[in-house]
């Protein structure tokens, strides 16, 4: 039987040289590509009463043309001739102005007094509709119509090509999904899928299309994850780590505090992984201040006891330095050699470190992304830890692992990842979660105010400082432009200086300052020479000043919940009751609702779920570097129920080895391997 993948698209009736070129622009080369070019959405032409329409809404209305239609001609881009058609209609007693472009062909056909159906975007203020559809009759309930991304290919050409392809080749559509899965979930066959998707008769058919495509996309995605997990993390016997458990226990017993239950569980998970045949690939997630560092330290210690080097990578220098200090303190009475490598390290010092590293004269190397730069060679790297892992891209994490053979990898995250996303994005990782904070922590009290309360806020700042405690003020985040963000911080800094004069020492911290400057300022804040620190989000990650008990966040609505939570985690680290004041003058209900969530909970897992629901996974992780897959129809958040089902199915398929042996799986297997190949190409 012929395969749609092997039939070139030019075989389809109606595809000439010109349309062929334009199809190729859309990466459509075969009939399979063509039929899989699904609509990006469907237009629904349900007629409504304009009096109930909202501003900006896409509407379809029927009315009488009450003014003589006017055609205006003008020059558009690249000197193209353009026309603009305007007229007014009466619909449900309202008079609405209609504007449409490029309708020269309607000249002489459209007249005052006619009935017309108009579809387009409604502007309430100007009582106008910018139309993309005009029908010169009464179109009561025109059905659904596919909308495609077509670049330069005309809609009519594309739909007629699609129709021809369906007629000629539709019967050849071959199902990748085995029949039992189609039956189990009552999914439509591939043949039906193509016809329903491109020539839908009603909404129900579209629903069927979405169900089928989403399931298939998510199943393939999960198959990939499980398949890669099966092959990728296998390692040879000799890389299993053997270490002295008694010594590891001694380390735990000598800590100045008792580990929480979740910390202990995480440690057991990790120590278990180190001695396994599969290389570790584990995510350790826990709220800010939940004590992930000590877990990381113990992992590094066990790795050291097994005779390996370890490394810890952090996203900022401040954080890397802090880790270096923490680890040096924790290991003070042990004989580990610890070094710090950042881009501020002098050339001479760097080359010394690299030589010692190569000779295994360094046991633990801490640093920023400079750890993964070329020339950093370990003698025997056994464990790589990445702190604040979402700050790093997929590639960077991979580079770190490639610094050794079968390296165990541990990723730390203070942005708790909602279960739905964890399942998908990190499907190839095991997850340990620290959900409780160490004993005796007082939850940070959070309040939402607007700038009318500024006087009271300033009074509160004064009071906190008079108690000998310290304050952070976070400048708003205007856009991804450092310049403007810094300007904001500078403005606020100057304002506070004017207000408080000489009585309080105020510091300023932002990302463009030189490392030494930053260090001096942070140092001064740490030892309370500075009482109030105005900062951009550079303090967001990890910084530890237990005496700081108040955090003011200006224009809090500009931050995502996950980020606000990170910021808030800078306070509440010491003995004092701590406060977080969110200042927001934005009155929209949605914004206030979002920020109110902050005042109601200090649980990062809850907040993350909220943030995800409100802003979607792209925002949550920072769009590009997230490594999140893109789907045609599936949505990792909204479709998490399908995702979970697909995940179970994928797991069963891979574990049973069916996919390799059973010929019913052949089409699925081919597709899976094709996608894995493409993935590999993207990575390298």
Site residues (CB under 6 A) for ligand ADP? 257-260, 263, 286, 288-294, 414, 438, 544
Provide, rounded to whole angstroms, the least separation between the CB of residue 436 and Mg ion: 16
Provide, rounded to whole angstroms, the least separation between the CB of residue 152 and Mg ion: 51
Shorter beta-carbon distance to ligand ADP: residue 70 or 332: 332
Contact 584, 448 (CB under 8 A): yes
Contact 583, 457 (CB under 8 A): yes
Query: DSSP assignment of 413-425, as one string?
Result: ESSPPPHHHHHHH
Provide, rounded to whole angstroms, the least separation between the CB of residue 388 and ligand ADP: 9
> Kind and range of the H or E element at 132?
strand 128-135
Query: Which option in Mg ion, ligand ADP, none does residue 323 bind, with CB closer than 5 to 8 A by kind?
Result: none
Shorter beta-carbon distance to ligand ADP: residue 161 or 340: 340
CA distance 65 to 103: 16
Q: Kindly state whether residue 382 participates in binding Mg ion, applying the rule CB under 5 A.
A: no
Q: How many Å is the Cα radius of gyration of the chain?
A: 31
Shorter beta-carbon distance to ligand ADP: residue 258 or 678: 258
Provide, rounded to whole angstroms, the least separation between the CB of residue 297 and ligand ADP: 9
Query: DSSP assignment of 222-235, as one string?
Result: HHHHHHHHHHHSB-
Shorter beta-carbon distance to Mg ion: residue 222 or 285: 285
Contact 647, 222 (CB under 8 A): yes
Shorter beta-carbon distance to ligand ADP: residue 438 or 618: 438
Query: Which option in Mg ion, ligand ADP, none does residue 627 bind, with CB closer than 5 to 8 A by kind?
Result: none
Provide, rounded to whole angstroms, the least separation between the CB of residue 292 and Mg ion: 5
Specify the pairing of strand 364-367 against strand 338-341.
parallel
Number of residues interacting with Mg ion: please give it, by CB under 5 A.
1
Provide, rounded to whole angstroms, the least separation between the CB of residue 569 and ligand ADP: 7
Shorter beta-carbon distance to ligand ADP: residue 167 or 329: 329
Provide, rounded to whole angstroms, the least separation between the CB of residue 444 and ligand ADP: 13
Query: Which option in ligand ADP, Mg ion, none does residue 294 bind, with CB closer than 5 to 8 A by kind?
Result: ligand ADP
Contact 288, 444 (CB under 8 A): no
Shorter beta-carbon distance to ligand ADP: residue 296 or 659: 296
* Angle between the N-to-C axes of helices 640-655 and 203-232, in degrees from 0 to 180, rounded to the nearest 10: 40
Specify the pairing of strand 128-135 against strand 115-123.
antiparallel
Angle subtended at Cα 319 by Cα 290 and Cα 561, rounded to the nearest 5 degrees: 55
Query: Which option in ligand ADP, Mg ion, none does residue 119 bind, with CB closer than 5 to 8 A by kind?
Result: none
Q: Which stretch binds Mg ion (CB under 5 A): 27-35, 521-529, 541-549, 634-642?
A: 541-549
Provide, rounded to whole angstroms, the least separation between the CB of residue 229 and ligand ADP: 27
Provide, rounded to whole angstroms, the least separation between the CB of residue 260 and ligand ADP: 5
Provide, rounded to whole angstroms, the least separation between the CB of residue 322 and ligand ADP: 8
Query: Which option in ligand ADP, Mg ion, none does residue 290 bind, with CB closer than 5 to 8 A by kind?
Result: ligand ADP
Shorter beta-carbon distance to ligand ADP: residue 217 or 387: 387
Enumerate residues 6+ apart whose C-beta is below 8 A from 411: 282, 283, 284, 385, 386, 389, 397, 429
Residue number of the CB closest to ligand ADP reads 291
Query: Which option in Mg ion, ligand ADP, none does residue 286 bind, with CB closer than 5 to 8 A by kind?
Result: ligand ADP
Provide, rounded to whole angstroms, the least separation between the CB of residue 414 and Mg ion: 6
Query: Which option in ligand ADP, Mg ion, none does residue 257 bind, with CB closer than 5 to 8 A by kind?
Result: ligand ADP
Shorter beta-carbon distance to ligand ADP: residue 116 or 295: 295
Shorter beta-carbon distance to Mg ion: residue 542 or 572: 542
Classify residue 9 by its DSSP letter. Answer: G
CA distance 136 to 386: 63
Provide, rounded to whole angstroms, the least separation between the CB of residue 303 and ligand ADP: 18
Shorter beta-carbon distance to ligand ADP: residue 206 or 414: 414
Contact 471, 529 (CB under 8 A): no
> Kind and range of the H or E element at 456?
helix 454-466
Sheet strands side by side (includes 381-386): 338-341, 364-367, 309-313, 381-386, 408-413, 281-286, 430-434
Query: Which option in ligand ADP, Mg ion, none does residue 259 bind, with CB closer than 5 to 8 A by kind?
Result: ligand ADP
Provide, rounded to whole angstroms, the least separation between the CB of residue 96 and ligand ADP: 57
CA distance 658 to 651: 11
Query: Which option in ligand ADP, Mg ion, none does residue 288 bind, with CB closer than 5 to 8 A by kind?
Result: ligand ADP
Q: Kindly state whether residue 542 participates in binding Mg ion, applying the rule CB under 5 A.
A: yes
CA distance 540 to 390: 13
Q: Which residues pair with 8 in a beta bridge?
A: 30
Shorter beta-carbon distance to ligand ADP: residue 291 or 310: 291
Work out the burial of residue 36: count CB atoms within 10 Å of its CB; fewer than 13 is exposed, 13-18 middle, 19 or more buried. Answer: middle
Shorter beta-carbon distance to ligand ADP: residue 438 or 511: 438
Query: Which option in Mg ion, ligand ADP, none does residue 386 bind, with CB closer than 5 to 8 A by kind?
Result: none
Classify residue 654 by its DSSP letter. Answer: H
| Maximal C-alpha separation, the chain | 94
Three-class SS state of 186? coil
Angle subtended at Cα 647 by Cα 642 and Cα 652, rounded to the nearest 5 degrees: 130
Enumerate residues 6+ apart whose C-beta is below 8 A from 375: 354
CA distance 643 to 652: 14
Three-class SS state of 345? coil
Chain residues binding Mg ion by CB under 5 A are: 542
């Amino acid at each position: 039987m012929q395969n749609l993948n092997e039939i070139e698209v030019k075989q389809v009736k109606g595809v000439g040289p010109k349309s062929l070129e334009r199809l190729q622009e859309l990466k459509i080369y075969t009939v399979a590509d063509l039929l899989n070019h699904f609509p990006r959405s469907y237009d629904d032409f349900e007629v409504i009463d304009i009096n109930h329409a909202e501003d900006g809404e896409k509407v379809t209305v029927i009315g009488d043309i009450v003014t003589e239609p006017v055609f205006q001609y003008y020059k558009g881009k690249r000197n193209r001739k353009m026309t603009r058609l305007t007229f007014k209609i009466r619909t449900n007693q309202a008079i609405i102005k209609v504007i449409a472009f490029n309708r020269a062909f309607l000249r002489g056909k459209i007249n005052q007094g006619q009935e017309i159906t108009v579809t387009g975007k409604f502007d309430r203020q100007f009582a106008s509709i910018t139309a993309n559809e005009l029908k010169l009759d009464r179109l009561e309930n025109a059905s659904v119509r596919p909308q495609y991304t077509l670049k330069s290919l005309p809609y009519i050409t594309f739909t007629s090509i699609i129709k021809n392809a369906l007629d000629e080749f539709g019967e050849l559509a071959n199902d990748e999904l085995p029949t039992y899965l189609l039956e189990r979930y009552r999914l439509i066959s591939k043949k039906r899928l193509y016809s329903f998707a491109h020539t839908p008769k009603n909404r129900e058919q579209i629903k069927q299309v979405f169900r089928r495509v989403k399931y298939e996309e998510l199943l393939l995605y999960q198959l990939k994850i499980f398949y890669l997990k099966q092959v990728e993390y296998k390692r040879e016997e000799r890389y299993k780590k053997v270490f002295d458990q008694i010594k590891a226990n001694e380390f735990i017993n000598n800590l100045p505090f008792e580990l929480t239950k979740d910390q202990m569980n995480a440690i057991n998970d990790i120590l278990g992984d180190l001695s396994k045949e599969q290389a570790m690939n584990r995510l350790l997630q826990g709220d800010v201040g939940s004590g992930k560092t000590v877990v990381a330290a113990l992992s590094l210690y066990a790795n050291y006891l097994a005779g390996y080097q370890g490394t810890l990578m952090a996203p900022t220098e401040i954080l890397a330095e802090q880790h270096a200090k923490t680890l040096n303190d924790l290991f003070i009475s042990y004989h580990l050699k610890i070094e710090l490598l950042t881009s501020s390290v002098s050339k001479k010092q760097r080359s010394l470190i690299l030589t010692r590293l190569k000779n295994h004269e360094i046991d633990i190397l801490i640093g920023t992304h400079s750890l993964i730069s070329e020339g950093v060679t370990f003698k025997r790297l056994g464990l790589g830890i990445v702190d604040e892992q979402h700050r790093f891209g997929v590639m960077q994490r991979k580079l770190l692992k490639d610094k050794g053979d079968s390296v165990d990898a541990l990723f730390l995250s203070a942005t708790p990842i909602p279960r739905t996303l964890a399942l998908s994005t990190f499907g190839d990782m095991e997850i340990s979660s620290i959900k409780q904070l160490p004993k005796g922590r007082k939850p940070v009290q959070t309040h939402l105010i607007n700038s009318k309360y500024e006087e009271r806020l300033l009074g509160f700042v004064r009071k906190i400082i008079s108690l000998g405690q310290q304050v952070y003020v976070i400048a708003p985040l205007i856009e991804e432009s450092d310049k403007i963000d810094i300007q904001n911080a500078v403005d606020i800094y100057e304002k506070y200086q004017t207000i408080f004069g000489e009585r309080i020492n105020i510091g300023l911290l932002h990302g463009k300052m030189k490392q030494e400057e930053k260090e001096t300022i942070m140092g001064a804040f740490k030892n309370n020479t500075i009482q109030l620190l105005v900062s951009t989000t550079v303090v967001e990650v990890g910084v530890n000043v237990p005496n700081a008990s108040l955090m003011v966040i200006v224009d809090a609505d500009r931050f995502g919940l996950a980020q606000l939570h990170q910021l808030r985690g800078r306070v509440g680290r010491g003995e004092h009751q701590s406060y977080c004041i969110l200042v927001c003058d934005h009155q929209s209900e949605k914004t206030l609702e979002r920020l109110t969530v902050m005042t109601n909970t200090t649980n990062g897992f809850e907040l993350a779920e909220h943030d995800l629901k409100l802003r979607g996974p792209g925002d949550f992780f920072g769009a590009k570097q997230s490594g999140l897959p893109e789907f045609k129809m599936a949505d990792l958040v909204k479709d998490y129920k399908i995702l979970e089902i697909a995940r179970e199915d994928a797991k069963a398929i891979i574990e049973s080895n069916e996919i390799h042996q059973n010929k019913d799986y052949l089409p699925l297997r081919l597709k899976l391997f094709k996608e894995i190949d493409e993935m590999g190409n993207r990575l390298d």
